[in-house]
Structure 1
Amino acid sequence: MQVYKGLDIVTNKVTDEECRGVPHHLLGIADPNANFTSDDFKHHASPVVESITIRDRLPIIAGGSNSYIKALANDDPEFRLRYECCFLWVDVSIPVLYSFVSERVDRMVKAGLIDEVREMFDPNNLEDYSQGIKRAIGVPELDHFLRNEASVDAENS
């Protein structure tokens, strides 16, 4: 979801402060209404990896869908011939994960998550949450809340 333009809080895009001077790539490059596929990722990521290695730096592909990484590292024979890959898998206990996610959502709400989604929400349209950035976790879930908010506002006007 972080490849899409917009909804920086909802998609939990890394901030400049969090980057700590380390360049990050492919954030906010895709049209929010388009479907960015694993083939799109492969097409965009390959030249970025090349530019990083030419500068004698180590490219790190972090996060994202496994299908994106598979498309790049497994389904692209040229990529496999050019680069050695090391895969790290992080496993966490469910209680630790739930605690982390709960705290993360609280931080995102405080940072303006609801207002960010509200800006793109149109109460007069039935939204399609199967396309583009609207598939981001939290966006479809806020639909009911924002529709009720709009109807309450209309009743109180």
Structure 2
Amino acid sequence: MKVVLSPTYRQVQPLSGFQGEINPFYCPKDKVLFVMGATGTGKSRLAIDLASHFPAEIINSDKMQVYKGLDIVTNKVTPWECRGVPHHLLGVVDPEYDFTANGFRRHTWRAIESILGRDRLPIIAGGSNSFIDALVNDDPEFRSRHDCCFLWVYVSLPVFHSFMSEWVDRMVEAGLVEEVRDFYVPGASNTRGLRRVIGVSEMVEYLRAESIDASEVFLRRGKEEAEEKWERQVHGPSAMIVERFLFEEGEEEAGAATMNITMPAVPLAAAVAAVTH
């Protein structure tokens, strides 16, 4: 995507079909994309879609997905779902270790430099805002060296609650209970490392008594409709925002740009807001 001409200037190659003028010698800062939102709103999927659209690699910013283990409970993307997109800081930390925001900042710096060194776009995806805050707001050097674009994936609460019921049922069917049972240690503190993840403490009483009351499976909506809505209302607009962020230089100087997209109540119904600075 980029050809390095000197330590200061880079030549930017537009995407095929891009309409508009660019300055081939304007890019004083390296670009970093953030995909944010609540748990279960489709951040990982959107990040992978964008990384398949643009030359990019993904850095996980979810404070629980950074740990090894409990892949179902933490909802890590599977190798199949990654579709060949490289991921960093995903399932690499010892589950007993307390991985802090400062640790995330240090590791993310190294990952970003590695990704940029391969002339690819770093996409930081995850819902742990304290990690992102430590990187963006508590690190003046990061702000001075990087031009950032933020995408926020939003789902209305009624739709989100309905989807979450189905989502939890699918996690149980995929082996959530067995996964937590294997991980559970009687008497162990659930305030450190991976044991802090939502699902472990909540299942302690069940694991002690080995009884559970599962929720009724919600009626699944049509897959074809959901896929079409995702492409038209989430991935498509997001790709357009990122394309402008990458190739329409100078808009940042005009001030913050915001774009909101809404869609009807369907699974993963979402609005995406982007802010560049």
Structures share a fold, TM > 0.5?
Answer: yes
Q: Within 5 Å, which residues of 2 pair with 1:32-71?
A: 32-71=95-134
Does structure 1 residue 75 correspond to structure 2 residue 135?
no
C-alpha displacement at 1:64, in angstroms? 3.1
Question: Residue 25 of structure 2 aligns with which residue?
Answer: none
Unaligned runs of 5+ in 1: 151-157
Distance 1:100 1:23 in 2: 28
Determine which of 176, 180, 190 is the counterpart of 1:129. Answer: 190
Distance 1:91 1:118 in 2: 32
Q: State the AA in 1 paired with 2:80.
A: E
Higher relative contact order (CA 8 A, sep 6+): 1
TM-score w.r.t. length of structure 2: 0.51
Does structure 1 residue 144 correspond to structure 2 residue 228?
no
Unaligned runs of 5+ in 2: 1-63, 212-277
C-alpha displacement at 1:127, in angstroms? 2.8
Distance 1:127 1:149 in 2: 18
C-alpha displacement at 1:40, in angstroms? 0.9
Which digits, 9 at most, give the CA deviation of each residue in 1:5-31, with x for residues without a partner? 111111111101110111111011111
Does structure 1 residue 113 correspond to structure 2 residue 212?
no
Contact 2:184/2:200 (CA < 8 Å) preserved in 1? no
Determine which of 78, 82, 98 is the counterpart of 1:15. Answer: 78
Distance 1:77 1:35 in 2: 25
Determine which of 155, 158, 176 is the counterpart of 1:92. Answer: 155
Distance 1:100 1:85 in 2: 31
Aligned length: 148
Which structure is higher in strand share? Answer: 2
List 4+ stretches of structure 1 deviating above 2 A. none
Does structure 1 residue 5 correspond to structure 2 residue 97?
no
What is the SS of the residue equivalent to 2:120?
A: coil
Question: Residue 154 of structure 1 aligns with which residue?
Answer: none
Q: Give the alignment's Cα RMSD to 1 decimal.
A: 1.4
What is the SS of the residue equivalent to 1:85?
A: strand
| Range moving further from structure 2, 81-90 or 36-45 | 81-90
Q: What percent identity do the matched residue pairs reach?
A: 63
- Whose radius of gyration is greater, 1 or 2? 2
Which structure is higher in helix share? Answer: 1
What is the SS of the residue equivalent to 1:87?
A: strand
TM-score w.r.t. length of structure 1: 0.89
C-alpha displacement at 1:149, in angstroms? 2.1
Determine which of 147, 152, 165 is the counterpart of 1:102. Answer: 165
Which digits, 9 at most, give the CA deviation of each residue in 1:39-78, with x for residues without a partner? 1110111110111111111111111310100111121112
Question: Residue 27 of structure 1 aligns with which residue?
Answer: 90
